[in-house]
Structure 1
Amino acid sequence: MLPGDCRRARFQAMSGVTVHQTLSKLLRRGRLLAGYNRPLVLMYHRVGEPLVDPWELSVSPQNFARQIEILTKARDIVPLQWLAQRLRDGKPPRNAAAVTFDDGYADVVQNAVPIMLRMNAPVTVFVTTHALTDPSVFWWDILSRITLETPALPERLAIQIAGRNYDWLVTEDATRAKSNLAISRTALHFGLHALLKPLRVHERKRALQQLARWAGTDASPRTRDRAMTHSELRHLADTDGVSIGAHTCTHPSLPLLKRDNLEREISASRQQCEEITGRRVAGFAYPFGDFDDSTAKAVRSAGMDYAVTTLPREAGPRVDPFRLPRVTVADWGEIEFRRTVLCHG
């Protein structure tokens, strides 16, 4: 290619990018002026950099700060409770967004909230109350540490879970793992997660202990994966711009529970949050995003004003306040965040 041709090609490429960016801005502006930017609720879990993150629950502090900065310029960040009330009244605000965190990890207090405060952005944190004193409640972190962080796993895993025997050949060879004879670490992790999720707490702990012995490690939780403490939660609730919501006591899949246990998980978590913070708790988040009609009814009966799901879309004008959708955010840079999140509306 001749020098002149290179310059023309470079100019055309740059022009194409500029035109695309200009059209995107015009489309967003036109959508806003036309009132098409419906309310959006974002879902986060952690702000930190764990060693492994199979569910993509963590966002680095740097990416999180940039994401919130972008969001403040593109949307009006509002308190979730205010937004839920507007939706209940049938008056969805234009261009609004709310930011939420599930579970109640300590790194939200340490890393996320200072960024939100610096940018004058409100946030709602949904807390799993038993995790405040029992770190093993976040069992998925223990599982991922055992299966994905252990340097060398034994080749064969024979284990009984919920009365059923399982036998796997564990391999680091991705090609071999595609056969029926072996399973990769990643596939093993997700398979075990699906088996452990519906178990009762004591059954899950026993299974994790078996897995730890097999892997040559332990089943204790690590400090880096801890939930916030009672005092941290009280301090958080006293912070301007921060609201606390309930997220059950032990983080079960609620549709799997019998009625009494279902109501206890919902009501007790709300009561415990209120006792710790001294403030009314108005909102609820469904663990794992799992809910059904009975679950939503139980949340309403517990006296809550709204509940959030993991349905990935914006909030329409006729949205059920106990089925509010949320868009999950991962550890994305600016381009991916704009493409994946700001496209909603």
Structure 2
Amino acid sequence: MSTTEPHAPPAGVRLRIPPVLMYHSISPSGQPDPHRVRVHPDRFDRHLRLLRRLGLRGVPLAELVEAHDRGTAAGLVGLTFDDGYTDFLEHAAPVLARHGMTGTVYVVAGRLAGRNEWDDGPRLDLVDADGVRVIAAAGHEVGSHTLHHVSLRGADPAVLAEQIGDSRRVLEEVLQAPVPGFAYPWGHFDAAAADAVRAAGHDHACVTGDYLPGDRFTIPRFFVAPGDGTPQLLAKLARHSWRMRGVRATGRGR
């Protein structure tokens, strides 16, 4: 899970990979949600029931990437949760367990036990070190989401090294295990940021939306909005299938 297999496509090669869904907060809270980060647990349950009806199983992104490398990714969908909100343990994890699925939680390593200070509100609680360990112990992947949830596009080399490398080191110290995955805050990245993620020792990274090159360090994801029901989720899965038609099975686009 922590290393790139010998036959894995190198950076720059577009992956023909199954869809990856991006969630944030899973919560029944009725407080304002101006940044559209909250999906109700009942709606999340309906999403997973739809995946099961389609014969799909949600897995962490590291598992999905490894299955892609082996040629065994058919029938899988990546499930990712950005920021590391405490409601993942309270509301998302039980729904995932009920459906026999797991996911990746991208944690802001320098904000453990803090709150989402990068937004202008409302304030949401973030997991602490014990919470990170509980997430991993339940079979979910823990990935890095920088130290302080900063934009990496256009960042100085020193900022990239700190936000990416130090975040990975903090999480690996907490888990006493490798942290292969990374997600760019807000999906903001450039070539220098992707190079820094690779240099820090990560195996793969994901963005927001269907950005090119869509390689191992810019894996696209579909944002799941609070109001997305079955039709919207089906449309996103179909759109991903359509986009992948132009990508050869070896990973390279036409």
User: What's the TM-score bracket when you normalise by the shorter of the two chains?
Assistant: 0.7 to 0.9
TM-superposed deviation, 1:336: 2.7
Larger radius of gyration: 1
TM-superposed deviation, 1:343: 4.2
| Matches of 1:56 and 1:283, distance apart in 2 | 24
Q: In the alignment, is residue 246 of structure 1 matched against residue 144 of structure 2?
A: yes
TM-superposed deviation, 1:134: 3.4
TM-superposed deviation, 1:249: 0.6
* Aligned residue number for residue 43 of structure 1: 22
Distance 1:78 1:133, change over 3 A: closer
Q: In the alignment, is residue 107 of structure 1 matched against residue 3 of structure 2?
A: no
2:153 to 235, 238, 255: 255
User: What are structure 2's unaligned runs of at least 5 residues?
Assistant: 1-15, 242-254
| Matches of 2:65 and 2:147, distance apart in 1 | 23
* Aligned residue number for residue 117 of structure 1: 97
TM-superposed deviation, 1:50: 4.5
* Aligned residue number for residue 240 of structure 2: 344
| Matches of 2:23 and 2:80, distance apart in 1 | 6
Deviations along 1:110-151, one digit per CA (max 9) or x if unpaired, are: 10011111111021101001221432x4331xx244xxxxxx
Higher helix residue share: 1
| Matches of 2:76 and 2:214, distance apart in 1 | 15
Asked whether the 8 Å contact 1:41–1:98 carries over to 2, the reply is yes
Distance 1:256 1:59, change over 3 A: same
Deviations along 1:186-230, one digit per CA (max 9) or x if unpaired, are: xxxxxxxxxxxxxxxxxxxxxxxxxxxxxxxxxxxx4xx110122
Distance 1:303 1:263, change over 3 A: same
Query: Which deviates the most, 261-270 or 231-240?
Result: 231-240
Asked whether the 8 Å contact 1:38–1:96 carries over to 2, the reply is no
* Aligned residue number for residue 236 of structure 1: 135
Deviations along 1:244-268, one digit per CA (max 9) or x if unpaired, are: 0000010000124211111111011
User: What are structure 1's unaligned runs of at least 5 residues?
Assistant: 1-36, 146-221
| Matches of 1:86 and 1:285, distance apart in 2 | 19
| Matches of 1:263 and 1:73, distance apart in 2 | 43
Asked whether the 8 Å contact 1:38–1:95 carries over to 2, the reply is no
SS at match of 2:162: helix
Letter of the structure 2 residue corresponding to residue 40 of structure 1: P
After the TM superposition, which residues 177-192 of structure 1 pair with which residues of structure 2 at under 5 Å, given as runs?
Answer: none
TM-score (structure 2 length as normaliser): 0.81
1:226 to 108, 111, 125: 125
Letter of the structure 1 residue corresponding to residue 111 of structure 2: A
CA RMSD of aligned residues (A): 2.2
TM-superposed deviation, 1:78: 3.2
| Matches of 1:328 and 1:312, distance apart in 2 | 10
| Matches of 1:133 and 1:117, distance apart in 2 | 24
TM-superposed deviation, 1:52: 1.4
* Aligned residue number for residue 291 of structure 1: 189
Q: In the alignment, is residue 320 of structure 1 matched against residue 219 of structure 2?
A: no
* Aligned residue number for residue 335 of structure 1: 231
Q: Which has the higher contact order (CA 8 A, sep 6+)?
A: 2
TM-superposed deviation, 1:269: 0.8
Query: Which deviates the most, 246-255 or 45-54?
Result: 45-54
Deviations along 1:289-325, one digit per CA (max 9) or x if unpaired, are: 0000000000000001000011238x9xx94110101
* Aligned residue number for residue 204 of structure 1: none
Letter of the structure 1 residue corresponding to residue 156 of structure 2: K
Q: In the alignment, is residue 96 of structure 1 matched against residue 96 of structure 2?
A: no
TM-score (structure 1 length as normaliser): 0.60
After the TM superposition, which residues 68-107 of structure 1 pair with which residues of structure 2 at under 5 Å, given as runs?
Answer: 68-74=48-54, 75-87=56-68, 89=69, 91=71, 93-107=73-87
Asked whether the 8 Å contact 1:38–1:92 carries over to 2, the reply is no
1:305 to 203, 214, 222: 203
Asked whether the 8 Å contact 1:329–1:341 carries over to 2, the reply is no
SS at match of 2:146: coil
SS at match of 2:240: coil
Q: 4+ residue stretches of structure 1 with deviation over 4 A?
A: none
| Matches of 2:37 and 2:72, distance apart in 1 | 29
SS at match of 2:158: helix
